[in-house]
Amino acid sequence: MAGEMIQQIVDYLKANPEMAKRAREYVQTHPDDVKTALKEVAERRGWDLSKIDTTKLKSELTRIAA
């Protein structure tokens, strides 16, 4: 289930490169606060980030927004 959520996030960010860029920049300056980088999007999309593997999400975010 958490893997599906990460894939949804990745797909969304790939479709919205400006949001991906902002999220990546936030993660670079706040590396221990990955979930906050996506809080706005999560609220709009109805995503529950509480059970997300932040290490995996951070890795994916860095990869797609590079």
Segment 1-16, tens digit of pLDDT: 567 888 999 999 999 9
Q: Kindly tell me the sign of the dihedral angle through the C-alpha atoms of 11, 17, 19, 21.
A: positive
Q: Closest Cα to residue 40, out of 23, 58, 63, 24?
A: 23
pLDDT greater than 80 at residue 51: yes
> Model's pTM, two decimal places?
0.79
Q: What is the arithmetic mean of pLDDT over 15-26?
A: 90
